[in-house]
Structure 1
Amino acid sequence: MIQCGKRFGLLVLCSVGFFGVIAVANLRAQDAPEKASPPEQIGRFLKWNAESKATVESFLQDEIARQDERLKAVTTELADKRKWKISENELKRTFFSLEEKREALAQLEAEIQELKAGRKESTEQLQDWQQSAFGPISEFSELEVGQFGTLDGWVCEIVQIVDGENLMVRTGHARLPPAPVNLGIQVGSYEDALLQQKVRGGIPTLGRAEISGPGQTVWIRGLATKGLVDGKRIEPEEVFEVTGTKKIGGTRTIFVLERVDLEEVERFAPKPPVVEAKPEKSKASPVSKPRSGTKSKAKLAN
């Protein structure tokens, strides 16, 4: 009886301890703070950027598959043509001369090297994007509600400062001024003009870029306006979202561009996968040690 009592008591203590651990775990789970949800704009940006990143990765994967397929086909063709004989009589699977054969094989070998280099580059780009938390963010091609992008390549001229973080700007794609003529030589492009101005001198100062077409007025929100004045040109480097439209003057409707806080984005962005560096393989000695006997020594001597 005493032994049974001891066993029963031990069982009770174990049960109490087990349920006590569960209770503590539940309390800790309740006290643990929930992961904050990102603000609406940050959430929209992360979703848009994830789709942009997936598009780039899919394109690169398709490109690698295409390169692999072509590489396999060219390698097979090269191996086959190496077996072709030289004959002036037969027309199928032959070369008319040794020179023709060498030229054909050299072209295939060059294409193989080019394909390998292209595949390596595509693979490295894919790995870079896979290890990055963000996808590509390019400049706006056209303004459309729901789009994210930058104003790189756009001319922005302030129309009105509204308050400390709101302003209206007239903007549009940049149009470079006509290239100047110097010493009777028509410069072919804006870049050529810059080059000649640097090297030769004497070219009139190039005019600043103008807005292509009539341009459009937009409302920019979230951009610090301290120190800015009406009529000044600015080059915003921020990322913007076209969040909607706004009526001004009772009749005009313009797009609203809201700055994206990239520091805030980083707080909620998914962490990129950690890629561990592969250990370097030890390089074998270029000359192997002979085992024993004259046969190995003869190989070493050769």
Structure 2
Amino acid sequence: MMCNHPLISVLLPVYNVEGYLAQCLDSLLVQSEDDFEIVAINDGSTDGSRGILADYASMDGRIRIIDQQNQGLAAARNTGVDHARGDYIAFVDSDDYVSPDYLSTMLSSLRDYDLDLSICGRQIDDGGVLRPYVRPKFSNRVLTVKESLRALNSYQSFDMSMCGKLFKAELFSGIRFPVSKNSEDQFVCYRILMKAKRTYYQDTPLYTYRHRAGSISRGSTVNTFPIEASHEQLDTFSRELPELVYAAETSCFFSQVSVFNAFALRSRSMPPNVVSCVESEPRTLLPSVLSNPDIPIKKKMQAIAFVFLRPIYKRLYLNQRGNHA
């Protein structure tokens, strides 16, 4: 039954996921919390995804379909936010799936602790094999703005994905996802956290992220936008939260490492603008990484090897990934 003012709006961007969409929708429609709508944004799908959405919408009035020409994930997220009618907003990617208590657990925490943002843990579906994604730091307590931003940049807690989070809808006022850029969540998440005065993270894996070859994050093209997004965060912290510049510099460092890794894994040469960044910045950022109390020793050792032993680091990384250079 359609509700004009549901408690929660679940935003579901959809683009050519006919092989996974039914499982995603099935997992949402059996939620123990039933006061929600699904805003399905069909982003110009050319496969059978639109038909699957129509079939499900005909059976359950909580599903609303918004059709648009293909504009990418950021534009689809913006469309979803624009059409959301709930007091709270959750995001689910349409090739992923969630546990039956995904919404109810985060909602209970949000109410019990008077939160602006509630966050859960996740697990990885890697070709049908479920793998834990254990990041317990900063969990099971209410976080201030500064604590949540430290957690976000700690590589031991929740990350910058919009998924696995339940937001007060008002947090998105004045915030847009950057259209035509990948890593759109990395551009937005820290800005949301700066507005969320009370955040709670529990690392129970209620969200299942699916690894698949055709997804944006695992395609053949290297995504260099994490470097730009991390620089934007650093600029913002430098102006507004100078005491957390070390955390933003840590994020800049590891964003560059991840981009370097992606080029190495694909045996591709980095473009000149990326080369100049990755060759010059890490050494200046390294002191912040090493002094950051939230970064695990293993990540600090990785950082030292990346700066001082780059050829050895690359060889070890490729060997670990089963791709011998």
Shorter-chain TM-score tier:
under 0.3
TM-score, normalization by structure 1? 0.17
Which has more radius of gyration?
1
TM-score, normalization by structure 2? 0.16
